[in-house]
């Protein structure tokens, strides 16, 4: 996203500055002990991260108008969206133990994007291409947020089910979202992600000439099928707990392989851009 061979030092400066600010803020938020000001630091990292993404998407500093696409930029935007949801939600309910993990992942995304900037693609082309890409990344963000809530749900369930040691007081739920509300939120994010993913696939099929059954298409359709089965099972049979979580993990894994996985193989393993 940032280290482009066609960039001059002057044009590289704002991109590098915003990325460095984001990286440092994420690291401070990840490795400092709990403090009231760490939320502000994480917000600074999120803003710097967003500015870096925006500058890059606008094609700042590129020799020709365009934006860079690849597995690292896709992960970067996905984690930025998940952090945005966390920032909003944490203002209303405490989400213990999440800040450090998200800050580490955010820092890793910034570094990965610096190392693997992706392929420059001109803005010219199908007018629907930007919408298709935005919807695809939005579905990644929604399912990523669903995974975050599923992990919180599983941790809360394990805490309630674990037996206290001899002489230890009975375990009580940690402060935060009630289990039923957390479960409901998880499936709401899954449903929203499914709708956006459906629109992404429909748009890709409608405006691709011809439609190609490549790795991205196959894994995307498989992921769509898994999420459809999960939502149908939830509605018809009341799926919940470990069963529902496993379906969510499988669907998210397939969706990750669809674009991020295939681009990773092309860029890192095969050293190809197309």
Is the peptide bond prior to 261 cis by the omega test (within 30 degrees of 0)?
Answer: no
Summarize pLDDT for 134-155 with one digit per residue, the tens. 899 999 999 999 999 999 888 8
Any idea which of 6-15, 25-34, 115-124, 141-150 has the lowest mean pLDDT? 6-15
pLDDT at position 125 is 60
Mean pLDDT of all residues in 96-111: 90
Residue 110 confidence (pLDDT): 93
DSSP 197-222: HHHHHHHHHHH-SS----HHHHHHHH
Which residue blocks in the chain are alpha helix, DSSP H?
A: 9-31, 38-57, 71-89, 98-115, 129-161, 179-207, 215-237, 241-256, 262-264
Whether the pLDDT of residue 24 is over 90: the answer is yes
With b for 16 or more beta-carbon neighbours within 10 A and e for fewer, the 155-188 pattern comes to: ebbeeeeeeeeeeeeeeeeeebbeeeebbebbbe
pLDDT for residue 206 is more than 70: yes
Q: Strand 119-122 vs strand 66-69: parallel, antiparallel, or unpaired?
A: antiparallel
């Amino acid at each position: 996203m940032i280290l482009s061979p066609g960039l001059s030092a002057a044009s590289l400066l704002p991109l590098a500055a915003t990325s460095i600010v984001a990286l440092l803020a994420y690291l401070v938020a990840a490795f400092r002990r709990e403090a009231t000001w760490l939320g502000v630091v994480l917000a600074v990292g999120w803003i710097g991260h967003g500015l870096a993404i925006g500058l890059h998407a606008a094609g700042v500093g590129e020799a020709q108008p365009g934006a860079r696409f690849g597995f690292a930029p896709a992960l970067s935007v996905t984690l930025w969206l998940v952090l945005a949801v966390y920032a909003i939600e944490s203002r209303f309910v405490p989400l213990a133990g999440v800040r450090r993990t998200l800050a580490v992942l955010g820092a890793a995304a910034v570094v990965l994007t610096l190392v693997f900037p992706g392929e420059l693609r001109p803005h010219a082309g199908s007018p629907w291409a930007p919408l298709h890409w935005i919807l695809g990344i939005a579905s990644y963000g929604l399912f990523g947020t669903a995974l975050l809530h599923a992990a919180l749900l599983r941790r809360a369930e394990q805490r309630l089910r674990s037996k206290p040691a001899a002489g230890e007081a009975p375990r009580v739920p940690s402060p935060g979202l009630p289990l039923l509300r957390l479960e409901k939120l998880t499936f709401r994010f899954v449903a929203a992600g499914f709708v956006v993913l459906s629109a992404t696939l429909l748009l890709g099929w409608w405006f691709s000439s011809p439609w190609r059954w490549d790795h991205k298409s196959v894994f995307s359709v498989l992921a769509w099928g898994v999420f459809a089965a999960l939502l149908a099972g939830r509605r018809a049979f009341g799926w919940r707990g470990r069963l529902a979580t496993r379906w969510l993990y499988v669907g998210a894994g397939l969706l990750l392989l669809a674009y991020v996985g295939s681009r990773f193989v092309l860029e890192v393993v095969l050293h190809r851009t197309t």
